[in-house]
Amino acid sequence: MPELRKDPVIGRWVIIATERKLRPSDYAEMCPTVEEEQAPFCPFCPGNETKTPPEIFAIRENNSQPNTPGWLVRVVPNKYPALKIEGNLDKKGVGIFDKMNGIGAHEVIIETSQHNQQMHDFDIAHLEKVIHTYQIRSLDLKNDPRLKYSMIFKNYGKEAGASLHHSHTQLIATPVTPKRVKEELKGTQWYYDYKERCIFCDIIEDEISRGERVVAINKDFITIVPYASRFPFELWVVPLKHRADFDSISDLERPNLAEMLGLVLKKLMKGLCNPPYNFIFHTAPNRFAHPGYWQTIDKDYHWHIEIMPRLTRPGGFEWGTGFYINPTPPEEAAQFLRDLVV
C-alpha cells in the first residue's frame, strides 16, 4: 500500500510509492552516470587562470601569486552571473508588480586543481579546505547590507545542472530571502513557538532512538534519509549541536563535517554507480546587516545540508501539486547505504 508522509518542517506531503518499489540495483541499471570527461579546454584548470575573472580568494601553496598556478582551492566570480555585485537595488513598483535591480553575488568555488578529481575523491584534509572556503566566503558576503541570503550549492553531472566537469561549487547571494527558505524558517519558528524546542533537534533525537533512517554518525554530525524523502536516497547531513548558521562551525567541527560529507558521497557513488546529484547548504539568512531580522532564528533554526541524487524526474503531477513521488522507502535506502562499506 502506498503511503502519504508529511514533512514535519514545512508541511509538504510526499507519496512513498511502494507499489512502484525500486531497489538500489535497479537505479544502477536505469539511471545516468557521470562519466570522466577529457575536454579540449577547461577554464578551471591550472594555467588557464586568465580565462576566468580575477580570483576573489584562494588557498595557495608556496606563496604563489594570485591568478597563477599553485592554488589548491580557488574562488572566482561567475563569468555569466545570475546577479551582479555592482549597483544599487533601486526597488520600485510597476503597477501592482514589484521589481529591483539584479544585485547580488555569484561566485564559483573551484574545489581542486585536478580536472578529473571529484569531491568524493578528496581526502578529509582537502575537503576541509573546501568547506573552510565556503565558510570564509559566506562570512565575507554578510558584510554587504544589500544581501539577505547566501546559498552554497553543487551540481554534479549534466543531469543535475553542471555545465563543466571540473569539480566546483557555486555560491549565490541574493537581496531577498528565497521563498523555499522562508517556508523552512516559518516552519521551524512555528514549531518553536508551539513547543519551545528546535524541530531539527527533535528530529535528530528521534532518528537516533529509532536508528532505521540513520546512515552515519560521528562526533559532530549525523546523516539521515529523511522520513518524508522527496527523492530516492535523499540525504540530510545535520550538525548534532544546535546552530542556525553554517559559517559558525568551529575549527574542531570542520574536519568532522569533511569526514561525514566525504563518507556519504562515497557511499552514493559506490552504491548507485556514480549518480548525478545536487547538494544545498540550508542556513540562516544574513542578520548582521539587518538587525532584528528573524529575531528568534538562533533558537528555532538549525542549519543542515540536503543531498539529492537525480534518480527520478518530477512530472506534471509533482509540478501541479507540490507532492513528490518517491519509489524507494527511506528506511530501505538508509539501510542500503548504512551497510555499504567504502
pLDDT digits (tens, 9 = 90+) for 87-133: 999 899 999 999 999 999 999 999 999 999 999 999 999 999 999 99
Confidence of residue 291 (pLDDT cuts 50, 70, 90): confident
Query: Per-residue pLDDT for 25 more than 80?
Result: no
| All cell numbers assigned to 89 | 537595488
**Strand residue runs (E) in the chain:** 3-6, 13-16, 57-60, 71-77, 92-94, 97-99, 105-110, 149-156, 168-174, 214-217, 221-224, 235-239, 277-282, 304-309, 324-326
Confidence of residue 24 (pLDDT cuts 50, 70, 90): low
Helix (H) or strand (E) holding 222: strand 221-224
Task: Report the pLDDT value the prediction gives residue 68, as an integer from 0 to 100.
Answer: 95
pLDDT in tens, 191-241: 999 999 999 999 999 999 999 999 999 999 999 999 999 999 999 999 999
Which residue, chain included where needed, has cell 537505479? 27
- In DSSP terms, 135 is beta-bridged to none
Rounded distance between C-alpha atoms, residue 305 and residue 237, angstroms = 5
Confidence of residue 30 (pLDDT cuts 50, 70, 90): low
Task: Report the pLDDT value the prediction gives residue 240, as an integer from 0 to 100.
Answer: 98
Give the closest residue to 253 by CA, choosing from 269, 267, 238.
238
Mean model confidence pLDDT for the chain:
92
Task: Report the pLDDT value the prediction gives residue 96, as an integer from 0 to 100.
Answer: 94
Rounded distance between C-alpha atoms, residue 290 and residue 308, angstroms = 31
Query: Per-residue pLDDT for 56 more than 70?
Result: yes
187 Cβ contact list (under 8 Å, min separation 6): 9, 10, 11, 199
Q: Tell me the CA end-to-end span of the chain in Å, nearest whole number.
A: 34
Q: What are the chain's domains?
A: 3-339 (3.30.428.10)
Query: Per-residue pLDDT for 180 more than 80?
Result: yes
Query: Per-residue pLDDT for 32 more than 80?
Result: no
Segment 271-276 mean pLDDT: 91
Query: Per-residue pLDDT for 31 more than 60?
Result: no
Burial of 74 (0-12, 13-18, 19+ CB in 10 A): buried
Query: Per-residue pLDDT for 319 more than 60?
Result: yes
pLDDT in tens, 303-313: 999 999 998 88
Segment 73-80 mean pLDDT: 96
pTM: 0.93
Q: Considering the chain, what percentage of its residues have pLDDT values greater than 90? A: 80
Rounded distance between C-alpha atoms, residue 124 and residue 115, angstroms = 19
CA 114 to chain centre: 22
Q: Which residues are catalytic?
A: 168
Confidence of residue 322 (pLDDT cuts 50, 70, 90): confident
Helix (H) or strand (E) holding 280: strand 277-282
Contact present, 326 and 257 (Cβ < 8 Å): no
3-state secondary structure string, 50-71? HHCCCCCEEEECCCCCCCCCCE
pLDDT in tens, 132-171: 999 999 999 999 999 999 999 999 998 888 989 999 999 9
Task: Report the pLDDT value the prediction gives residue 228, as an integer from 0 to 100.
Answer: 97
Rounded distance between C-alpha atoms, residue 269 and residue 277, angstroms = 10
Rounded distance between C-alpha atoms, residue 17 and residue 52, angstroms = 45
